[in-house]
Amino acid sequence: MPGKTRKTIASVAVLATLGLGGATYVQASGRDDEGTASGPAAKSATAAALKVTGGGEVNAVERDSEKGATWEVEITKRDGSTVDVRLGAKYETVAVDSDSEDGGEE
CB of 35 within 8 A of CB of 59? Answer: no
CA 45 vs CA 36, 59, 96: distances in Å: 12, 13, 13
CB of 69 within 8 A of CB of 86? Answer: yes
User: Where exactly are the structural domains of the chain?
Assistant: 1-30, 40-98
40-98: what fold? SHC Adaptor Protein (3.30.505)
- Summarised one tens digit per residue, pLDDT across range 66-85 is 888 999 999 999 999 999 99
pLDDT at 56 over 90: yes
pLDDT band for position 90 (50/70/90)?
very high
pLDDT of residue 95: 95
What percentage of residues in the chain have a pLDDT greater than 90? 52
pLDDT at 35 over 50: yes
